[in-house]
Amino acid sequence: MAKNIMRLVVIGNGMAGIRTLEELLKMSHEEFDITVFGAEQQPNYNRILLSPVLSGEMSFQDTVLNDWSWYKENNITLHTGKLVTKIDRQRCVVETDDGLSVSYDRLLIATGSNPIVLPVPGASLPGVIAYRSIDDVEKMLALAQDKNKTGKRAVVMGGGLLGLEAANGLSLQGMEVSVVHLCEWLMERQLDKAGGDLLKKALEKRGLKFYLARQTESILGEDKVTGLRFKDGEEIAADLVVMAVGIRPNIVLAKSAGIHCERGIVVNDTMQTYDPKIYSVGECVQHRGQTYGLVAPLFEQAKVAANHLAEYGRMRYEGSSVSTKLKVTGIDLFSAGDFNPGPEDEELLLQDAARGVYKKLVLRDNKIRGAVMYGDTVDGPWYFQMLRDGTDVSEMREHILFGQSHLGDAGRGGAASVANMADTAEICGCNGVCKGAIVKAIVDKKLFTLEEVRAHTKASSSCGSCTGLVESILANTLGGDYSTKTSKKSICACTDATHEEIREAIIQRSLKTLPELMQALNWKTSDGCAKCRPALNYYLLSALPGKYDDDSRSRFINERVHANIQKDGTYSVIPRIWGGVTSPSELRSIADIADKYQVPTVKITGGQRIDLLGVTKENLPKMWGDLVAAGFVSGHAYGKSLRTVKTCVGSEWCRFGTQDSTGLGIKVEKMTWGSWTPHKFKIAVSGCPRNCAEATIKDFGVVCVDSGYEIHVGGNGGIKVRVTDFLCKVSTEEEVMEYCGAFMQVYREEAHYLDRTAPWIERVGLAYVKQRVVEDAAGRAELYARFLESQRYSQDDPWKERAEGKDAHEYAALATIE
């Protein structure tokens, strides 16, 4: 064998081990000589779908992730039904029970976990089954479906996630099911007592029986199981006993080879064990003191392990915090984080027994530490996101328990429960994706993660406001084991770097161009992609005003040609109309220009301007030349930039007006126009609290009152309407200008590209924004100064430049041939 081919042996043919191989094959161009050992007879199947197989909603074949041909196609030698009995670390060889030995350069241990079998008398009787593998499920099904059997009584030991799913499955198969649990309430690791009691009530309605706070003394029976006796002497009859009291990392083999183990096989952040040639992933692993039994952390580990097996040496696994959803059809339950409050913690509670709704949030220092939800879980992913982001929630404490949807949810009728939605219900309004299409993709294409669903269905890939719904659908479809990943999110597949890391690198390592930036941060692609390039271009532009050469090739088409592309490939042209105030002569010029270029549609926009639609690209520079000659500049209606400053007439005419809102609006627009921002930015100034300019759904809104100016931030219309948060009140126009510039500048410097102000504020918390813009007067002055400095370079009218010939190649065909 050629020397450069690495021999990789994998012990364990389950989800973690095989996922690692998939990641490895995907990322590495090197050849590997791969051998896989599996103790079970089957190819790799989806263990988290055992419950639907048990309840009859799926067949085993539906759960197979990699069929036999996959191993063949990838040249992987697969040994199923073979037990590895020895790892000889000196000689780098593994040996099996039937005498086979295979050498390795790298070894991956993915032996998973074993079900815990309680050491009670009778535990080894026929009819006592663990709940772990497809074999176990088949045994249970055989018993449940046996027509000749008289007894159909099942006892499930364990009232945790797995036990309840098993109980529900058996009950659907027509058995009488009792659940025995040591603790006072069900799922005590995921639920507090109140939540557990609600769950119990719901399951009792479905015919399950519970024996809580009971200890089993022995399992009864002679040649097969007949019943169960508790410590207090009571006995119950049983034809089947399922042990689902928990799992334990399977570390026997690793231990016998002298690899350092505690509760699991101890690994570092690269998933390497104490033997540098041996890696380990999955449920057998102990990482930073934690063991994991859910699928998302395993997949993250797989990615990291593959990266190091491929000798890229780039990624680290930093642990996961997990959320859980029980999937017993029709029962919605969600929990995340640490939900048993300590002495320093606060508890927020909402309980509505009639609706069967229970929500609890545990806070410390105004940050969410844990959440338990029952009955209405649609906001679970939202809370979980804030938990992960460490968002300061002090400003939303009053309404946080009512969820995100009270803020409005256009287009999907505010549906609260994904489980009860029809297949035809539209989930992603941006891309028109229905629930049925998402479920079908998850099942048919065997998807596990939000990213995969996005790639296959496009759902949640545009504005992202349906992300919570899509995650709920994933959880509902995949069952109890779904959990979202928690480690940092890179900005796209070209890199492992996050938005924050990129911005930090630009400043700290004084990176000045796109290629420099990509090289410094180890971009995996030659020149990025359509996701990262516009983001990087913006970050450089905002960090280096006046010094960075805008890369037009990294601009989305609208910003490259300074007009909005329409569905037929023509463009729309919107000249700036300061504060929405115009004049007969301006209107006459627009009318003449519209005539001259035969503009098919002229429309008044929501931002108090005039939209000229259907202009061909060749005509744009000429038309702009005419507009510029008539005194107009670009309206930037096409950009991630300041759009409009909407105003009402204010004190000049209105009998209610308190201040000169039009005049102030024009001043604000003259100051801010031309600035590039992470996403579009809209401003409005209303002359009195009647708020005719709708300032409270803008990114920055001013409401004039007799005594001064109220400043509101973080609002938007659109898919998810969000009303602004009140920032502060100031007394002069000069202050309004300063606060406006300072607020825009924090947003420009710190928000993720493509975040509007609303999601940005929801992530960092309003308290933070107040601290930067209101409380810290010196900091505010600096932000304002930086904003004005940056504006010195951004107020050259792009239309004028292009009318004079800049970028002419963008607007003309290369050639015309007959």
Partner 1 sequence: MNWIQIGKLNDIPRQGSRVVNTATGEIALFRSVDDQVFALNNRCPHKGGPLSEGIVHGKRVTCPLHSWQIDLETGTAVAPDAGCAHRHEVRVAHGVLFLNVEAGVCKA
Contacts of 68 by beta carbon, 8 Å cutoff, 6+ apart: 43, 78
Size of the site for partner 1 (CB under 8 A): 31
> Of 530, 604, 655, 778, which one interacts with partner 1 (CB under 8 A)?
530
If one asks whether residue 525 binds partner 1 (CB under 8 A), the answer comes out as yes
Closer residue to partner 1, CB minimum distance, 328 or 536: 536
Report the alpha-carbon distance of residue 261 to residue 789 in Å, rounded: 58
Within residues 449-478, the interface with partner 1 by CB under 8 A covers: 455-456, 458, 461
**Phi and psi for 610 in degrees, rounded to 5?**
-120, 125
Give the single-character DSSP code of 772: I
Minimum distance of partner 1 from residue 20's CB (angstroms): 22
Minimum distance of partner 1 from residue 310's CB (angstroms): 20
667 SS3 class: helix
> Of 410, 493, 557, 587, which one interacts with partner 1 (CB under 8 A)?
557
If one asks whether residue 25 binds partner 1 (CB under 8 A), the answer comes out as no
Tell the burial category of 402 from Cβ atoms under 10 Å away from its Cβ (0-12, 13-18, 19+): middle
List the one residue out of 153, 157, 186, 189 whose CA is nearest residue 171. 153
Site string for partner 1, 721-750 (x = CB under 8 A): ------------------------------
If one asks whether residue 706 binds partner 1 (CB under 8 A), the answer comes out as no
Q: Which residues pair with 368 in a beta bridge?
A: 363
Structure tokens at 489: 């999110």
Minimum distance of partner 1 from residue 565's CB (angstroms): 6
Do 647 and 685 contact (CB within 8 A), yes or no? yes
> Of 119, 569, 584, 805, which one interacts with partner 1 (CB under 8 A)?
569
Q: Which residues pair with 175 in a beta bridge?
A: none
195 membership: H or E segment, kind and range: helix 193-205
Find the largest Cα–Cα distance for the chain: 102
> Of 147, 355, 655, 809, which one interacts with partner 1 (CB under 8 A)?
809
List the one residue out of 677, 784, 678, 655 whose CA is nearest residue 730. 784
Within residues 313-352, the interface with partner 1 by CB under 8 A covers: none
B/e letters for 124-133, b = 16+ CB within 10 Å, e = fewer, are ebebbbbbbb
Report the alpha-carbon distance of residue 193 to residue 349 in Å, rounded: 13
Report the alpha-carbon distance of residue 786 to residue 4 in Å, rounded: 55
Structure tokens at 58: 């799926």
Minimum distance of partner 1 from residue 477's CB (angstroms): 18
> Of 72, 397, 445, 509, which one interacts with partner 1 (CB under 8 A)?
445
Closer residue to partner 1, CB minimum distance, 316 or 458: 458
Minimum distance of partner 1 from residue 615's CB (angstroms): 15
**The one segment of 33-41, 266-274, 350-358, 552-560 that binds partner 1 by CB under 8 A:** 552-560
Give the single-character DSSP code of 617: G
If one asks whether residue 567 binds partner 1 (CB under 8 A), the answer comes out as yes
Compute the CA torsion angle 359, 363, 366, 367 (nearest 10 deg): -90
> Of 1, 2, 422, 815, which one interacts with partner 1 (CB under 8 A)?
815
If one asks whether residue 528 binds partner 1 (CB under 8 A), the answer comes out as yes
Closer residue to partner 1, CB minimum distance, 321 or 554: 554
If one asks whether residue 236 binds partner 1 (CB under 8 A), the answer comes out as no
> Of 554, 647, 672, 794, which one interacts with partner 1 (CB under 8 A)?
554
List the one residue out of 214, 234, 99 whose CA is nearest residue 159. 214
253 SS3 class: helix
Question: Locate tokens 């995949």: which residue?
Answer: 478
Closer residue to partner 1, CB minimum distance, 507 or 557: 557
If one asks whether residue 565 binds partner 1 (CB under 8 A), the answer comes out as yes
If one asks whether residue 817 binds partner 1 (CB under 8 A), the answer comes out as yes
B/e letters for 524-542, b = 16+ CB within 10 Å, e = fewer, are eeeebeeebbbbbbbbbbb
If one asks whether residue 527 binds partner 1 (CB under 8 A), the answer comes out as yes
Question: Locate tokens 């659109």: which residue?
Answer: 718
List the one residue out of 393, 481, 467, 399 whose CA is nearest residue 433. 467
Within residues 577-636, the interface with partner 1 by CB under 8 A covers: none
Q: How many residues does the chain have?
A: 818
Minimum distance of partner 1 from residue 437's CB (angstroms): 13
If one asks whether residue 818 binds partner 1 (CB under 8 A), the answer comes out as yes
Closer residue to partner 1, CB minimum distance, 515 or 689: 515
Find the distance separating the first CA and the last CA of the chain, reported in whole Å.
Answer: 59
> Of 106, 214, 369, 533, which one interacts with partner 1 (CB under 8 A)?
533
> Of 439, 529, 649, 721, which one interacts with partner 1 (CB under 8 A)?
529
Cβ atoms within 10 Å of 560's Cβ, excluding its own? 17
Site string for partner 1, 394-433 (x = CB under 8 A): -------------------------------------x--
> Of 342, 526, 595, 706, which one interacts with partner 1 (CB under 8 A)?
526
Closer residue to partner 1, CB minimum distance, 367 or 524: 524
Closer residue to partner 1, CB minimum distance, 251 or 532: 532
Closer residue to partner 1, CB minimum distance, 60 or 811: 811
Do 331 and 192 contact (CB within 8 A), yes or no? no
> Of 12, 52, 534, 607, which one interacts with partner 1 (CB under 8 A)?
534
Minimum distance of partner 1 from residue 411's CB (angstroms): 18
Question: Locate tokens 């000798």: which residue?
Answer: 311
Sheet holding 32-38, edge to edge: 76-80, 32-38, 6-11, 106-109, 278-280
Closer residue to partner 1, CB minimum distance, 114 or 616: 616
Structure tokens at 242: 């399922």
Closer residue to partner 1, CB minimum distance, 188 or 452: 452
**The one segment of 258-266, 310-318, 390-398, 563-571 that binds partner 1 by CB under 8 A:** 563-571
List the one residue out of 445, 314, 442, 307 whose CA is nearest residue 25. 307
Minimum distance of partner 1 from residue 816's CB (angstroms): 4
Strand ranges inside 32-109, DSSP E? 32-38, 76-80, 84-88, 93-96, 101-103, 106-109
If one asks whether residue 354 binds partner 1 (CB under 8 A), the answer comes out as no
Residues of this chain that interact with partner 1 (CB under 8 A) are 431, 445, 455-456, 458, 461, 525-530, 533-534, 552-554, 556-557, 560-561, 565, 567, 569, 809, 813-818
